A and B are shown apart, each in its own frame.
Chain A
């Protein structure tokens, strides 16, 4: 039974990842990525990582992907990948190189990890205890990182007052879209 769930979810994850890479429209790609994140959340549940499955859905599929879709809607770069590709030969080279990388990584991964142990590595309680004892310093550094990201994003998004570019709405209107 668990094998059936694993195979179905794994195939869905691979298909949605391929959809992200193949589909030209970035909005479709974002929705494919949401599907992929949900599939990985199901795999977390099967690995007995309930806290991470919930955090995956809330933080990734909820917050981060909303940010992505917001940016896509704001920028509308749906027609961005048109015209001749100046690096087409380099891109053709990328596929066989990626295939070699994939084969090597899958082969290496096949040699790792034994059978699953009987005991699951604790629940939310164990994670919380570990987070606030052994990993307390990285946890505090994380708060500093989030503060830096907040300030950086605000600084970047702030509109220059004098001599800056026109607001984005008038530009989009001028483009005749």
Chain B
């Protein structure tokens, strides 16, 4: 509860800080606030808590999930450098404020006990992201992306809300544990049909948020159109929060119905893996490729969710962390390179390694982690996820995932080929010291977690 209150207050404070003459205070203030929240997040460590009349629930796992979200928000905010590049139309205070508010939504999605809170969380997060997507007001692509995201997102939330209503109709409760209890009293074929319809609609709404196929069509346009820093923000935070919410829903209340939703989710998983990976191959823009890659990573995370074994939660947790870290560093490099080259294409990276070996190395580690090469966090994440599928016994799902990850190598390595093997005229890029520190931390974490994954896993 504490992080939610703190983030709301800090958001308002940041908004008013924007009236002060010096804009330089905003970035350190926001980072400080995020740090304070990150610490406050772990106040209830080793306690299972229920707050607000059993509306919010939490344990160590949900705190670590919130921690991942806050940490990636910290890194992304650290990479903004006060939005200095955006010109006078920028409203840095509002961006920071909205980012902080959106985190409130994310944490609600992670630790809800009542479906209403889930809905409120999803709405807070989504509305914030709609605004951030359209924040580049003069850019037609950005406007288009925001409108597209808003319209589709509004539909998805509507469907989700309908689903919740139907589930309420079937069980008479919004509370996760109550629903679980009520479902547990009946055999799966005696359940009310409303429950199944409601579950499906609820899943559709949440799967839309994490961009699983066939609800992924907004992703490339929105990721491409939004300012790069906000693309990084939404691709890490929305995904982590969305999967935490999905896990909470499926494990917390619907685990006994796995036979029922397994086929649906497995189909969606396969579709997501194929759609993400195959389409990513044909992209010429690095940013758009990252959008498709985020779809494919949603697919890998869905494998753990579909299997729903005893260790699915830790798999999802570790995978989200690994994915968030690599994505932040990939976008961090992209921001610098695209500023220099005014392009997001692979060609923009030509010859990066010659004059900027540090950036090339950061990019390489992040791509290797996303591709799942050993000694990076991404590999361990994939291993855990695959293990879940094997434990459930769905070898065919495993085979699809493995083919998909082999395809993944091809497009992740394209940017490395450009950076290392191609000739280019990229000049030395000046990196602000703080920016460099963030990239170093993220890259180091990626490698350390690849070597010692139990550092994080023993927390849960």
- A joins B in a complex: no
